[in-house]
A and B are shown apart, each in its own frame.
Chain A
Amino acid sequence: SPSSPTAGLPPFFMKGSIIQLADGELKRVEDLRTEDFVQSAEVSGELKIDSSTVERIEGSGTPNAVIIQFSVGENKAQVCVEVLVEYPFFVFGQGWSSCCPDRTTQLLALSCAKLSVGDVCISLTLKSLK
C-alpha cells in the first residue's frame, strides 16, 4: 500500500521481524551478526556469500534513490544496483548500514550505520553460477 510506512521496502527489515537462519534458529533482524549469514550459507549448500565492496555511491534520477556500484567477489565484478537511500545492507563485522541511516531508523526503527565507499557488504550468489 502506498500509505505504508515501509512502502518500497521489504517488510523483513522492520525492527523486530523474525528471521529464520538455515539451521532453523530464529533471530530478530536487529540481532543478526556476520556469523549468522556466513554459517547459514555454509549450511544451505546452494548459496555462497560474497564480499561486495562499495566502489561508488551516486545520485539516481529517481527521488530518494541512489546507484551503488559494488566490486563483487574474488573476480571483482562491477555490479550496479539502484536502491532507496534507506535500503539497508549488511556490512561485514559492522552490521546494518544504509546511505541514509536516519531515514532507515525513521521508517523501519532499524539502527543503521552510514554506508560508505570502501565498506564490504554481504551479498549472495548461487553456487551453480560460474
Chain B
Amino acid sequence: GAAAAAKDEL
C-alpha cells in the first residue's frame, strides 16, 4: 500500500 510518507523512516 501507499508507504506512509516518511513514517517508516527513523
Do A and B belong to a common assembly?
no
